[in-house]
């Protein structure tokens, strides 16, 4: 499933998929950026997330981090792994 979201006026395209083991993955792309998202930040892609919502939310958070840059993030802000 493909979904278009926006962060700070920038388009973010989320693409979710379900693995054979029933887990969910979500990759994002940002038109005009050369960044390639691997779907799971620092995790084995065979694990995934329990729900589609968790996968999409995590991907959108990763995209927002890329757009705002580390200088705008609160101290100690870390994304939780599923």
The model's pLDDT over 3-48, given as tens digits with 9 standing for 90+, comes to 999 988 889 999 999 999 999 999 999 988 766 665 554 445 557 8
**Predicted TM-score (pTM) of this structure:** 0.70
Q: Report d(CA 70, CA 16) in Å as an integer.
A: 26
Residue pair 28/38 in contact by the 8 Å Cβ criterion = no
**DSSP-derived secondary structure letter, 52:** H
The yes-or-no verdict on residue 51 having pLDDT over 80 is yes
- At 63, list the tokens: 């995209």
Residue pair 11/31 in contact by the 8 Å Cβ criterion = yes
Maximum Cα–Cα distance across the chain: 39
């Amino acid at each position: 499933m493909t979904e278009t979201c926006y962060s700070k006026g920038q388009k973010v395209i989320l693409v979710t998929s379900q693995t054979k083991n029933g887990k969910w993955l979500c990759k994002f792309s940002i038109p005009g950026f050369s960044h390639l998202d691997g779907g799971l930040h620092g995790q084995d892609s065979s694990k995934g997330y329990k729900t589609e919502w968790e996968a999409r939310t995590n991907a959108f958070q990763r995209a927002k981090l890329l757009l705002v840059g580390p200088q705008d993030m609160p101290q100690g802000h870390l994304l939780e792994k599923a």
